[in-house]
Amino acid sequence: QVQLAESGGGLVQAGGSLRLSCVASGSFFSAMTMAWYRQAPGKQRELVADISSGGTTKYVDSVKDRFTISRDYAKNTVYLQMNSLKPEDTAVYYCNVRYFHIVWRNYWGQGTQVTVSS
């Protein structure tokens, strides 16, 4: 069906930057929302940012003005540029796509670790 390949996680100091990438491949219809979620130890998974098929973006309040989500339509790729990173950004970050075919369908990447040290 859909496969998601993530890259860009790692270890950085507070105040540093990282860029996450996720490439979607497989057989599906082109109209889809792409998103980044994260889950920190002991906490629920939360939506960080998403971008619709029309380019509309949304962000969780804690990352506004620091993170930017974007997409390359031709390559079916979504990016998350993360600047001014804080220790509380430490989490496993997951790529997600959703699209409609008969019913709404959701697919997840394997997750990539982001660690921000003080």
pLDDT tens series, the chain, 118 aa: 889 999 999 999 999 999 999 999 987 666 689 999 999 999 999 999 999 989 999 999 999 999 999 999 888 899 999 999 999 999 999 999 998 888 889 999 999 999 999 9
Predicted pLDDT of residue 70: 96
AA identity, residue 118: S
Considering only CA atoms, which of 18, 31, 35, 2 is closest in space to residue 89?
18
Predicted pLDDT of residue 55: 92
Is residue 47 a contact partner of residue 63, using CB atoms and an 8 Å limit? no
Predicted pLDDT of residue 73: 86
Cα separation values, 82 from 1, 7, 68, 71, 105, Å:
29, 13, 7, 15, 27
* Backbone conformation region of residue 11, classed left if phi is above 0, alpha if psi is from -120 to 50, else beta: beta
Is residue 95 a contact partner of residue 80, using CB atoms and an 8 Å limit? no
